Amino acid sequence: MSSAIPSPCGEETERSAALHSYGLLDTPRQQDFDDIARMASQVCGTPMAVVNLVDTRRQFFLAEVGLGVRETPLETSFCGRAILEQDMLVVPDARRDPRFDGNPLVHGEAGLKFYAGALLKTADGITIGTMCVLDTKPRELDEHQIEMLRFLARQAMTQMELRRSLAAQDRLLAQARASEARHRQILDSAVDFAMFTSDLGDEVTFWSVGAERVLGWSEGEMLGRSADVIFTPEDRATGAPDRERAAARGEGRALDERWHLRKDGARFWASGEMMPLMDDADRHVGYVKILRDRTEQRKSELQREELTQELAHRMKNTLAMVQAIATQTFRTAKSLDEGRDALSGRLIALGRAQDILTGSGADATEIRHLVDDALRPHRSGEGRIVVAGPSLELSPDQGLGLSLAIHELATNAAKYGALSVAEGEVWIDWTIAADRSFTFHWRESGGPVVETPTRTGFGSRLIERIVAPYFDGTGKLTFDPSGARFDLTGTIAPPCDRSPQQPRHRTP
C-alpha cells in the first residue's frame, strides 16, 4: 500500500463526504467484513487481504487478514493509487513497476511485491476504497480470481449500504420515538394545565380544554362569566383576584401558589401565573391566566413537613426511652454486670423496633411479630406484659401505623404509666371477625394514677388520628385514673394465605 496522485479538490471533497456518510471509519471489527477479507485471501492465494476505506488524508482497514493493524500511512499506500483507476489495479511485481520506485513498503522491511485491488464504488460511482490482496512474492491472478475480487468488492459495498440503510432507519425510528414522546409529554402534561383569558371587566373570553379538565367548567359555561369563580371565598373576600391583576399590570406577570376551586366545590392546589393580554396595537385588553394542578405535590410537601415533625418527636422519644430502659434495667438487676448485659440487649432490641417503624418493604407484616418486636425493649423478665390475639397479617401501611401506636403507647407507659413502676402491667389483645372487622386494645393497670393531659400532644394525635385511617376505622385514647387505654377499630382486607391461630401467652 507510492504516493497517491492528487485528484481535483472538489472531487476529493465529494468522495470524502460519500465515505463519511456510511459512518464506518474507526468502527470495531465486524464479522461480515472479516469474512469477505478472508475469502479474498483464500481465493487469491495471498497471505494478506484488506477491505480498505480511503479518505483524503488517511486510510482505515474495515477488515484485514495478515496485517494485524487497522491503519497505515496513505502517502505510501498502493490503495491511494488504486482509487484513481476506473476499475481495479493489479501490480504483479512492484519492484519492476516505476510507479513504486523508492516506496518503503516495496523496498523496505515490509517487502511487498504483489498488489491487486478492486474498487469499492457507491451507487453514484464514487470510489471510497478498495477490496485488495497483497503478497511479499510476485504473482499473477487468473480471470476467475480477478472476477471474484470484483465480486467481493461488490459484496463489501452491499454490506456497507445495508448498514447505512439500517442506521438511517434507526435514526428515523429514534426521531419518530422522540417525536412521539414529545407529543405524548405535551398531551399528558396538558391535562394539568388550565389556560383562559378574560377582558378588563374580568369576564372570560377564552377557556381551554385543559381548563375544562382541571377546573370542571366547560367553555360554554364560562364565556362571559367572571373568572373570580375559581378563587376560594376567603381569597375573594380579601381581594386576592384584584391584587393579582394589579401585579400583572404593574410588573408584567403575577405568580401565585394557592388553593383554588373546581366546579364541584373541591379545592386543589395550583401554581398560577397571570399576564396582561395585549392586542396587535399593544393595548391592554385583558389578562391571560395559566394554572397547573399541583395538588399531589402539595400533599407530598405537607407529608414531608409532618414526617419532619414526627422525626423530631421520635428522636426525643427514643432518647427518653433509652433513659427509661436503663433505669428499669438497673433497678431489677442483681449485679452491675447483669444490668450492663441486659441493657445492651434491650438497646439492640430498641434498634430492631426502630427498623419496623421505618418499614421493611415487605408485602405483609405478621401482627404478633410486630407487637413482640415493638415491645421487646420493655421486657423486664417479670411477665408484666400480656399479649393475646389470632395470627393475622397486616398490610405494610397498617403494620407501620400500628407500630407507631405501640411504640408511642409503650414509650408513654415506660415514662409515666404502668411500665414506669414494678407493679404495673399492660394487657394487649386484638380480634378479627368473619366480616374482617378488626379491634385492637391496649390496657394499663397497676401504674401511677393517670391524669388527663391539659393539652393534646403530638404523640396522642399520632395514636388517635394517624393510625386509624390505615384501618379505615377509628382510634380512641382514654386516660382512666387506673390506667391508660387505647381502642382501635377498623377493617383488614383478607390476605392471600393465613392460618388462623389463637395464641395467648405472657411475655417474659
Q: Do 9-168 and 193-293 have matching folds?
A: yes
- State residue 106's pLDDT score: 87
Say which amino acid occupies 274: M
Compute the distance between CA of residue 456 and CA of residue 384 in angstroms, rounded to an integer.
28
Domain 298-507 annotated CATH 3.30.565.10 = yes
- Distance of alpha carbon 21 from alpha carbon 201, whole angstroms: 61
pLDDT value at position 352?
55
| Pairing of β 114-121 and β 365-366 | unpaired
Q: Indicate the Cα dihedral angle 71, 76, 80, 82, nearest 10°.
A: -110
Encode pLDDT of 458-486 as tens digits: 567 667 777 888 899 999 999 999 999 99
| Per-residue pLDDT at 503 | 35
Secondary structure (DSSP) of 309-359: HHHHHHHHHHHHHHHHHHHHHHHH-SSHHHHHHHHHHHHHHHHHHHHHHH-
List the chain residues with pLDDT less than 70.
1-10, 180-181, 183-191, 307, 310-334, 338-339, 341-364, 380-382, 455-459, 461-462, 495-508
Phi and psi angles of residue 240, each rounded to the nearest 5 degrees, phi first: -60, -40
| CATH 3.40.50.620 describes domain 193-293 | no
Residue extents of the structural domains in the chain: 9-168, 193-293, 298-507
> What pLDDT was estimated at residue 354?
56
Hey, is 199 helix, strand or coil? Answer: strand
Sequence letter at residue 79: C
Beta-carbon count within 10 A of 88 CB: 18
Which CATH homologous superfamily contains domain 9-168? GAF domain (3.30.450.40)
- Whether 277 and 245 have beta carbons less than 8 Å apart is answered as no
Longest dimension (CA), the chain: 119
3-state class (DSSP) for residue 49: strand
- Cβ(113)–Cβ(93) under 8 Å? yes
The answer to whether the beta carbons of residues 383 and 351 sit under 8 Å apart is: no
Which residues are registered as beta bridge partners of 474?
A: 489
What is the structure's pLDDT at 187?
A: 39
Specify the DSSP class assigned to residue 203. B
336-358 vs 396-415: helix crossing angle, rounded to 10: 150
Alpha-carbon separation of residue 183 from 133, 172, 177, 329 (angstroms): 53, 16, 10, 66
pLDDT, residue 341, reads: 64
Q: Where are the beta strands (DSSP E) in 330-399?
A: 365-366, 385-388, 393-394
Name the helix (H) or strand (E) containing 70: none
Query: How far is 379 from 353, CA to CA, in rounded Å?
Result: 13
- Listing DSSP states for 124-193 in one string gives TS-EEEEEEEEESS-----HHHHHHHHHHHHHHHHHHHHHHHHHHHHHHHHHHHHHHHHHHHHHHHHTTE
Nearest residue to 215 (alpha-carbon basis) of 202, 224, 228 = 228
**C-beta of residue 277 within 8 angstroms of C-beta of residue 202:** no
Q: What is the pLDDT at residue 9?
A: 61
Work out whether strand 437-445 and strand 474-480 pair parallel, antiparallel, or are unpaired: unpaired
Q: How many helices (H) and strands (E) does the chain have?
A: 14, 18
At 320-330, the pLDDT tens digits run 656 655 665 56
Residue type, 21: S
